[in-house]
Amino acid sequence: MLNTPRSCRGMVTSPHHLASQAGLDILKAGGTAIEAAVATAAALAVVYPHMTGIGGDAFWLTLWPDGRAQSIDASGAAAMKADVAFYRNAGQARIPWRGPLAANTVAGTVSGWDMALGWSHAVQPGLPLGRILRDAIHYAEQGVPVTAGAADITRAKVDELRAVPGFADQFMPAGRLPQVGDILHNPRLARTLRMLVDDGLDSFYRGRIASDLAADLASLGSPLALSDLQAHRAVHQPALHARVRGADLYNVAPPTQGVASLLILAVFDRLRAAKADSYEYMHTLVEATKLAFRYRDTHVGDPALMTVQAQDILDDAGALDRMAAVIDPQRAAPWPHPSQAGDTVWLGVVDSDGLAVSMIQSLYFEYGSGVVLPRTGVVWQNRGTSFGMDPDGWNGLRPGRKPFHTLNPAGARFDDGRTMVYGTMGGEGQPQTQAAVFTRYAYYGVPLQRAVTAPRWLLGRTWGEDSVSLKYEDRFDPELIARMQAAGHQMERMEPFTSTMGHAGALVRHEKTGLIEGATDPRSDGAVAAW
């Protein structure tokens, strides 16, 4: 997959082709990029349930044609009952990764849809919610074919998920592992989506659906209560911004790692390599990643408890210069460093008016907590498992606290009028893949699809693995790999086109002509849908 799709009227990219088509249908019906993004996200919650769902969190970055850059934090906080004593009394020394005790934070995704659609309706009359959720409802009710990726992940994680309440009933029909091409149904989720249409999206938090969710969570042993759902609101916040040569970059503020993504690019911008995928290119980006992650893990968490403002470091040219000066062009800095895991989906939409959406939606680990709520068919996230058990520590568990998030949708505006949205799933890999895709395209003129398809690397762990080596796909020049090893990087070879490297995508709109270019990741089940 090397040729870049192009169109002029609108474009959607996501990691599942049916979801991309659902979004495109909304554009064809006259909907905005925001409405198409909600349709795509809702479809993904059904057709890609191992990666995302309405029981998870989301973040939005919206680049408006008038120059505004707005973001939405649709992430949930820890339950008010979720404290260290709660887990100690349950016999837990740490928060479990799976099961009802892992379902300890509010799912914010639907609140983000609600806020974003409000923005859209302020621009033009909105399509009916039933139209926007139509495809998601259809796939939940009538079924969707199981993908190879979903089958592989289920097989790999079945031992830790099989006994989780509701998992086997939903994802292992007749007690067997799903096979590629099996038709997976979730009629309870279809009913829930229909209730959202009838009662409004806010009913997820303050209506019939909220009552059903809370009753199920309580009966299974989760610390979440109806009052936690009722207290939740999505938050509108200014987008983070960084200036590099030729472009303004945007990302989402804490509790996400968006500042790390921008720091990598701001530091690299000061040390640009002469050629893409050279030793200088890869080494510099990896070393910039180490610096950005150290800053992130020192300062980034729940913004209500942070002692610094993330934007400050991005505005401090001297500090960025000093970070760049630390990088030794010949030697790798010491590593490892504590790392984060996670899985998610990224999607992008651009409409004919130039409105561009970069949106990311997640359950955290594959299938999140694994819990499938019996009344609603909702898979609940396990984002709160990232909390530490020291309430005073970095990202320590406290009632009502938001956990640190790896999620961060990205965007850019170029001086020549181009608008770009891009992103990926993959925990620690998100800032690194963003950096690879953006720099290849923006600095070295690599066509957009080639920039996404090209081999990638990953410093740290992802998908719940413990390895913190510098992983690389086995498609790089062997001489490059040998030089990286000689510089002190601990290299670990991965198979080509491995999902470990994330599911990336990107869209670019050219202001002068209206041309839209798109890319999707051959490592996923995705597609670019355009007209």
Q: For residue 93, how far is the Cα from the chain centroid? A: 29
Distance CA 219, CA 376 (A): 14
DSSP assignment string, 283-307: HHHHHHHHHHHHHHHHH-S-GGG-S
Task: Please name the residues in contact with 313: beta carbons below 8 A apart, sequence gap of 6 or more.
Answer: 259, 263, 295, 319, 320
Adjacency order of strands within the sheet including 504-509: 6-7, 516-520, 504-509, 419-424, 410-414, 247-251, 240-244
Residue 330 phi/psi, 5° resolution? Answer: -110, -15
DSSP assignment string, 66-80: TS-EEEEEE-PPBPT
Peptide bond into 255 cis (omega under 30): yes
Residue 482 phi/psi, 5° resolution? Answer: -60, -40
Extract the tokens encoding 122. Answer: 């302020």
Distance CA 251, CA 262 (A): 7
Over its C-alpha atoms, the chain yields an Rg (Å, rounded) of 21
> How is residue 343 annotated by DSSP?
E
Q: For residue 73, how far is the Cα from the chain centroid? A: 12
H-assigned helices in 33-75? 33-47
Residue 476 phi/psi, 5° resolution? Answer: -80, 160
Catalytic machinery residues: 344
Nearest one of 77, 137, 138 to 111, comparing CA atoms? 77
Integer angstrom CA distances of residue 94 from 80, 87, 390: 17, 7, 10
Pairing of strands 470-473, 491-494: parallel
**DSSP 3-state of 243:** strand
CB distance 7 to 517 below 8 Å: no
